[in-house]
């Protein structure tokens, strides 16, 4: 159920994996690896998601379109923050300069939550793939799955570390600015 919440179709899951980890072409009965696509990684997926989410939020809080329609909140991360009518109303009441900053930050948070959640679902899928007898019987395939899992875990840890550092620095700066303004 969690997998289907994150990916609408098997093709979407496949595309996420290709973009996050790249791909290799190989035959199960040999150790030969052919050319594949170079991955953009989770950071690239995050930037793409942020751009899409920011444009949606921007339209909702600055333009005149109905904040209650499904086009506003359906694309957002199913298990986390949503762009609800209450949130849109609250953002619309804020000074436009601050509104733009908060909208961008909210879009980044939503995008990061979605990308990390999708990556966690891919990790679960890869772990499940290791248990398939036809795949488990090939040491090469198991090592490729293990490599992909390690790479994905590393990318998740890097994203989370970056987020914690950025949040800490921005919070400290924001507090300094507010203190200076008083």
The pLDDT tens digits of the residues spanning 27-56 come to: 555 555 555 555 678 888 888 888 888 888
Would you say the C-alpha torsion 77, 108, 71, 45 has a positive or negative sign? negative
What confidence score (pLDDT) does residue 79 get?
Answer: 45
Angle at 142 between CA 141 and CA 146, to 5 degrees: 120
pLDDT in tens, 72-83: 555 554 444 566
Question: Which residues, given as ranges, of the chain have pLDDT below 70?
Answer: 1-5, 23-39, 64-83, 170-182
């Amino acid at each position: 159920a969690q997998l289907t919440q994150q990916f609408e179709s098997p093709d979407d899951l496949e595309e996420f994996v290709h973009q996050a980890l790249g791909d290799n072409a190989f035959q199960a009965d040999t150790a030969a690896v052919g050319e594949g696509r170079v991955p953009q990684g989770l950071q690239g997926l995050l930037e793409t998601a942020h751009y899409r989410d920011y444009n949606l939020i921007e339209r909702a809080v600055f333009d005149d379109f109905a904040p209650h329609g499904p086009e506003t909140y359906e694309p957002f991360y199913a298990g986390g923050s949503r762009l609800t009518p209450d949130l849109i109303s609250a953002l619309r009441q804020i000074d436009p300069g601050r509104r733009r900053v908060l909208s961008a930050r909210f879009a980044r948070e939503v995008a990061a939550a979605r990308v990390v959640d999708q990556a966690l679902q891919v990790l679960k899928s890869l772990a499940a793939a290791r248990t398939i007898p036809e795949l488990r019987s090939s040491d090469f395939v198991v090592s490729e799955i293990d490599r992909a899992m390690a790479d994905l875990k590393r990318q998740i840890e890097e994203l989370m570390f970056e987020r914690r550092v950025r949040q800490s620095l921005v919070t400290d700066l924001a507090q300094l600015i507010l203190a200076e303004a008083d």
